[in-house]
Amino acid sequence: MEVEGAQICELSERELHEATVTTPVNIAVVKYWGKRNNDLILPTNSSISCTLNQDHLNTKTTVRASSSYTDDRFWLNGIEETISNSPRLTTVLVTLRAIRKEKEKTLGPLAEGEKPLSEWKLHIASENNFPTAAGLASSSSGYAALAVCISKVLELDLTASELSKIARRGSGSACRSLYGGFVEWQHGVDPSGEDSCAVSIAPESHWPELEALILVVSDVKKSTPSTSGMSTTVKTSELFPLRVNEVAPKRIKQMEQAILEKDFNSFATIAMKDSNQFHAVCLDTFPPIFYLNDVSRGIITLVHRFNSQVDPATGEPLGIRAAYTFDAGANAVIFVLKNNVKELVEYIASHFPPATLQPTSVYFPDPFGIFRSADA
Ligand code: ADP
Ligand code: DP6
Ligand code: CO
> Of 258, 284, 283, which Cα lies nearest the Cα of 270?
258
Report residue 202: phi and psi, to 5°: -160, 145
* Residue of minimum CA distance from atom 5 in ligand 1: 133
| Shortest-distance ligand to the CA of residue 33 | 2
Helix (H) or strand (E) holding 153: helix 138-153
* Residue of minimum CA distance from atom 14 in ligand 2: 327
* Residue of minimum CA distance from atom 4 in ligand 2: 327
| Shortest-distance ligand to the CA of residue 27 | 2
pTM above 0.90, yes or no: yes
Output the tens digit of pLDDT for each of the chain's 376 residues.
333 333 333 434 455 689 999 999 999 999 999 999 999 999 999 999 999 988 889 999 999 999 999 999 999 999 999 999 999 999 999 999 999 999 999 998 888 888 999 999 999 999 999 889 999 999 999 999 999 999 999 999 999 999 999 999 999 999 999 999 999 999 999 999 999 999 999 999 999 999 998 888 888 899 999 999 999 999 999 999 999 999 999 999 999 999 999 999 999 999 999 999 999 999 999 999 999 999 899 999 999 999 999 999 999 999 999 999 999 999 999 999 999 988 998 898 888 765 555 433 444 333 332 222 222 2
Give 185 Cα–ligand 2 centroid separation in angstroms. Answer: 11
Residues 6+ apart with CB under 8 A from 270: 29, 30, 251, 254, 255, 258
Give 244 Cα–ligand 2 centroid separation in angstroms. Answer: 15
This complex has an ipTM of 0.99
Ligand 1 contacts CB of residue 226 (under 6 A): yes
Ligand 2 contacts CB of residue 226 (under 6 A): yes
Q: Cβ atoms within 10 A of the Cβ of 86, count?
A: 15
